[in-house]
Amino acid sequence: MKVVIALLTLLSAQAVLADCTVDITVGDTLKFSKDAIEVKQSCANVTIRLTHSGALPAGAMGHNWVLTRSKDYEAVARAGASSGLSGNFLPADDERVIAATPVIGGGNSTSVTFSLDELDRDADYTFFCSFPGHWAVMNGPFEIS
Ligand code: CO
How far does the centroid of ligand 1 lie from the alpha carbon of residue 116, in Å?
A: 24
Kindly tell me if the per-residue pLDDT of 65 is higher than 60: yes
Kindly tell me if the per-residue pLDDT of 14 is higher than 60: no
- For the chain, give the percent of residues with pLDDT over 70: 88
Q: Would you call 145 helix, strand, or coil by DSSP?
A: coil
Give residue-wise pLDDT tens across range 109-145.
999 999 999 899 899 999 999 999 999 999 999 999 9
Measuring CA to CA, how many Å separate 10 from each of 6, 7, 87, 99, 120? 6, 5, 39, 28, 30
- For the chain, give the percent of residues with pLDDT over 90: 84
How far does the centroid of ligand 1 lie from the alpha carbon of residue 140, in Å?
A: 13
How far does the centroid of ligand 1 lie from the alpha carbon of residue 58, in Å?
A: 9
How far does the centroid of ligand 1 lie from the alpha carbon of residue 79, in Å?
A: 16
How far does the centroid of ligand 1 lie from the alpha carbon of residue 38, in Å?
A: 20
Q: What pLDDT band is residue 19 in, cutting at 50, 70 and 90? A: confident
**pTM score > 0.85 for this model?**
yes
How far does the centroid of ligand 1 lie from the alpha carbon of residue 111, in Å?
A: 15
Q: What is the pLDDT of residue 18?
A: 59
How far does the centroid of ligand 1 lie from the alpha carbon of residue 64, in Å?
A: 6
In the predicted model, what is the mean pLDDT of the chain? 92
Alpha helices in the chain (DSSP H): 2-19, 58-61, 73-80
Give residue-wise pLDDT tens across range 73-101.
999 999 999 999 999 999 999 999 999 99
How far does the centroid of ligand 1 lie from the alpha carbon of residue 72, in Å?
A: 18
Q: What is the gyration radius of the CA atoms in the chain, in angstroms? A: 17
How far does the centroid of ligand 1 lie from the alpha carbon of residue 35, in Å?
A: 14
Q: What is the pLDDT of residue 5?
A: 57
Q: What is the pLDDT of residue 13?
A: 58
Q: What is the pLDDT of residue 44?
A: 85
Q: What pLDDT band is residue 10 in, cutting at 50, 70 and 90? A: low
How far does the centroid of ligand 1 lie from the alpha carbon of residue 30, in Å?
A: 6
